[in-house]
Structure 1
Amino acid sequence: MRLSGNPLIGETTAPHWPYLRRVMGEVVRDDAQMPQTILGEHVAILDAVIAGDGTRAELLSRDHITRAAKIFVQRLQAQQDASEKEMQQRRTRRIR
């Protein structure tokens, strides 16, 4: 953000950091390869920016965010499914 020289980037992203950190933490959880994968994606995006290839930087950024969002949603769904299963098991035990 600082290198861009655009103070609006920091101002507009600041309120979202807690949520972004949660997503990032969830995406890297339980996957030892993910930090290296993410680093590679960030390097590719930065290389495109440095090369002045805004189209490629945008494409890579969108792909990166989309993939992370899919992983996050899958993990949330798995947690919800597990919670619902646990609740159903509790109900079944009470009925017996």
Structure 2
Amino acid sequence: MTAQLLQLTTAPDLADQVYRALLDAISEGSLAPGQRITQEELAEQLAVSRQPVMQALRLLKKDGFVQDAPGRGLQVTPLDPRWLVQVYEVRGALDTLAVRRAAERRTRLDPALFSRGRDAVARGDVKAMIDADLAFHSALYQAAGNPLIEQSALLHWQHIRRAMGEALQSSALREPVWDEHEAIALAVAQGDAERAEALMRRHSEQASAHLAEQLGGVAATDNSVVR
């Protein structure tokens, strides 16, 4: 499968642009797990020289998104469901802590967060869905009043993006996510910390179980989370 990538304009930070474009493609699944990639093909599709592509691939390899392919060359790193479940377990604990603290402060989230998410679902734009999801969770982290929650949660965000991109290929998951997000936000705004935490935990468990099934039936832990 040949990924369809947008051409980029030349700029001083071109290697960073290439990195972000390739990371988006990996997250969305247009560069699929295990797919072989070459500097030449990527440079041609992005309409750039091989140099920024080489620099971007070096960073992507360091960050674990690409790896050496059998024989020679590079490939997109396959998703490791067991490792992802462990990442989501930590993320789930942070999410439930965030909603409890945000509810204690009776924080009202911006309604535009939900409009943005539902609009992305309506358009079937996986990248926009992922971005909207991050915006929702980031708003909760900030509402918690503890900057360490957001800093900790974002450590593995790029890898979580990949898992979300895989999960969101299923249209059955897309709309319910935003129903769940709105229910969580309502409990937070009402100051109902117990309900907010319970809703977030259930949201996390359901999402994690679905992803584990998609990636090979790995049993999800109670607190693991995809979104």
Please report the TM-score for the alignment, with normalisation by the length of structure 2.
Answer: 0.32
CA distance in 2: counterparts of 1:67 and 1:18, whole angstroms: 21
How many residue pairs are counted as aligned between the two chains? 77
The structure that is helix-richer by fraction is 1
Indicate the residue corresponding to 1:72 in structure 2: 211
**What RMSD in Å do the two structures reach over aligned CA positions?**
1.6
Write the letter of the residue equivalent to 2:206.
Answer: R
- 1:1-96 equivalent positions in 2, closer than 5 A: 1-31=141-171, 33-77=172-216
Q: Which runs of 4+ in 1 moved over 3 A?
A: none
CA distance in 2: counterparts of 1:63 and 1:26, whole angstroms: 20
CA distance in 1: counterparts of 2:163 and 2:196, whole angstroms: 21
Give the drift of 1:5. Answer: 2.9
Give the drift of 1:25. Answer: 1.7
Give the drift of 1:13. Answer: 0.9
Indicate the residue corresponding to 1:89 in structure 2: none
Q: Which runs of 5+ in 2 are unaligned?
A: 1-140, 218-227
Q: Which runs of 5+ in 1 are unaligned?
A: 79-96
CA distance in 1: counterparts of 2:194 and 2:147, whole angstroms: 23
Indicate the residue corresponding to 2:51 in structure 1: none
SS in structure 2 opposite 1:77?
coil
Give the drift of 1:39. Answer: 0.5
Please report the TM-score for the alignment, with normalisation by the length of structure 1.
Answer: 0.70
Give the drift of 1:36. Answer: 1.2
Give the drift of 1:20. Answer: 2.1
